[in-house]
Amino acid sequence: MVQLVLDPKFIQKNYPCDFLTQAEWKAYGNPNLFLGIAYILIGLVCILLYIPVIIILMRKDLLENSCYKLILFLTFVDVLALIPCSLITGWLTIDGQVYCSSPTFILYSGTIGMCGWNISCFVCLVLAFNRCLDICLPKVWELLFAGKKTLLWIVASILYGVKMSFFAPGLFYSSRGGAWFYTPYYLITVKEFSKDVEYMNWGEVVHNIIIVVGLSTMYTIFIGTLFCKLKTCKNKFKLSSSQKSLLIQTTFICSASMSCAGLYMVTNWIIVNKTVIIASQIAWILSHGCSSFSLAFCNKTIRTHIYQDLFPNRLKKYFYSKAGLPKGNTIKIAAQNNIYKRSECVCLRGDKSFAANSSLASIKAFLTDFDLSKVFDSILPDLIQHVLFPKLIIKTFGPN
């Protein structure tokens, strides 16, 4: 029988807290100020990085691509999931809470956090599937993802996340472990609590196994196919900067999700060292947060738009002047045609060009079309010797 985990009758039957007083439950807690602050800081940094990424991803021209639709939805899910798995977890750790010291708040937070995790994993698999089809079977890609069909995948991920979280055994925080567990009474040895109750969430166990196997398989196929196509197209095997960027992004995101799934399976199956438990919690946070770093620093299209659209003009002029780059030159650049290569989600440029005569136009032109890596290779000695920070800003946020 499908049972809503937030049903008061279900909670009273399976997760009762009336065996001890609130003071006695509180005594079981193990406050940890530094660990709690660490959880919160990691989440805050990721959320702050997501803000400019979301602003850029909401551009209409980017949303014409199914890949970016999935990425935008995934960023929203990740931000919402970071609230319980990072910010709330940090506060509970600092305060030294166990489930029965704040049962309703912890159960709701755990359920929402697990829902975010399930939706995020589903979308990651769909995104990997999207990229594999785009390279291997373009016609099938058109059939499954072209137009508004991407929205069907998004709806499916939401339904899956709700089913796997709100109609399944709960997830509970305990400061005795500094993480979330399937049992509400982690390291609390009172026999009456666990009598005739199965706390293991076997559906989530299967989900985590599928994530580990599915993501590794999908990205192995994707990267393997990409390499084969490169070898076929070129006599000398070499990855372009955009392909290297894509490889870094997919490996980064995939590794965090797989690590989190694997570690949580271990911590809920067997008794492990607390260090492993804390590592699993940090892996959960990073599984939702690492995309912010990947998108902000590794994705050429998003990184370029962040610099062009969100950086104040005064900062652009300042960084440009500190980098010692020429100001008055006429630089021909390609006009934007908003053409995107699906498999790599990389913005391409058209053939039209125009002259940028003003200082500000020169800055935009240079950062849009020039290969900054070559520039920084040539000025590396000066880069180390003079005003390092402004130049690194240009290298980081300017397109390669």
The whole-number pLDDT of residue 317 equals 67
CA-based nearest residue to 175, from 60, 274, 298, 109? 274
What are the chain's domains?
Answer: 8-298 (1.20.1070.10), 308-397 (no CATH)
Choose the weakest-confidence range: 37-41, 99-103, 179-183, 255-259.
255-259
Is residue 394 very low, low, confident or very high in pLDDT (cuts 50, 70, 90)?
very low
> CB of 89 within 8 A of CB of 16?
no
What average pLDDT is seen over the chain? 75
Choose the weakest-confidence range: 2-6, 285-289, 303-307.
303-307
Cα–Cα distance measured from residue 246 to residue 227, given in angstroms and rounded to the nearest whole number: 12
Q: Which two tokens stand for residue 3?
A: 């049972």
For residues 209-237, give the mean pLDDT.
74
Of residues 145 and 76, the one with the higher pLDDT is 76
CA-based nearest residue to 106, from 53, 175, 196, 58? 175
- The pTM of the full predicted model, rounded to 2 decimals, is 0.75
For residues 354-360, give the mean pLDDT.
38
Burial class (CB in 10 A: 0-12, 13-18, 19+), 365: buried
